């Protein structure tokens, strides 16, 4: 079932904000232990954490070789919904041909193919929240 344009835009905005917040948090967390500052980093880290949706979690389905066009699904925990996701096709001549939410909104699907082979490595990432 296709998403309505307004819902699709809202989800895209939420996912972009969540990913930006995660990148910021990782950058702050990787600062040298002897770094000093005026406390701005601590305030930024606190505001970044509060910007994430409640129950934010990334579920990773690691790479596995599967037949071309076979779907792989990363599922959110039972009490969470998917708010975004993605996939990766791995291997020579690998192409990701699909990356989309499950029809019930509980997981993320990815599938791919290789032009010179019968199998492709597929990894799937589901961004979940309450």
- Higher pLDDT pick, 27 / 58: 58
* Same domain flag for 64 and 98: yes
44 plus 81 within the same structural domain? no
pLDDT digits (tens, 9 = 90+) for 70-105: 999 999 999 999 999 999 999 999 999 999 999 999
66 with 119, same domain: the answer is: yes
What's residue 122's pLDDT?
A: 99
The predicted model gives 62-74 an average pLDDT of: 99
What pairs with residue 77 in β-bridges? Answer: none
> Which two three-digit tokens encode residue 116?
């010179």
Mean pLDDT in residue range 43-71:
87
Same domain, 14 and 78: no
In terms of DSSP bridges, do strands 119-129 and 94-101 run parallel, antiparallel, or are they unpaired? unpaired
- Residues 22-52: tens digit of each pLDDT: 433 333 343 444 444 445 555 555 566 678 9
**118 and 84 within one domain:** yes
Give me the domain span that covers residue 27: 5-51
User: So what's the pLDDT on residue 50?
Assistant: 73
43 and 67: one domain?
Answer: no
Nearest alpha-carbon partner for 70 in 125, 116, 114, 127: 114
Residues 124 and 72 in one domain: yes
Quick one: 71 and 36 in the same domain?
Answer: no
- In this structure, the answer to whether residues 63 and 125 fall within a common structural domain is yes
Number of domains, the chain: 2
- pTM, 2 dp: 0.64
Same domain for 80 and 101: yes
Backbone angles phi, psi at 75, to 5 degrees: -105, 140
* pLDDT given at position 49: 64
Residues 46 and 62 both lie in one domain: no
């Amino acid at each position: 079932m296709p998403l309505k344009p307004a819902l699709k835009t809202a989800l895209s905005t939420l996912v972009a904000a969540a990913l930006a917040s995660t990148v910021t948090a990782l950058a702050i967390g990787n600062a040298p232990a002897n770094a000093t500052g005026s406390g701005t980093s601590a305030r930024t880290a606190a505001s970044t954490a509060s910007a994430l949706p409640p129950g934010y979690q990334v579920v990773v389905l690691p790479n596995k070789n599967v037949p071309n066009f076979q779907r792989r699904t990363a599922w959110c925990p039972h009490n969470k919904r998917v708010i975004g996701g993605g996939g990766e096709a791995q291997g020579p001549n690998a192409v990701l041909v699909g990356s989309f939410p499950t029809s019930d909104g509980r997981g993320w699907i990815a599938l791919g193919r290789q032009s010179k082979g019968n199998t492709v490595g597929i990894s799937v990432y589901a961004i979940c929240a309450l």
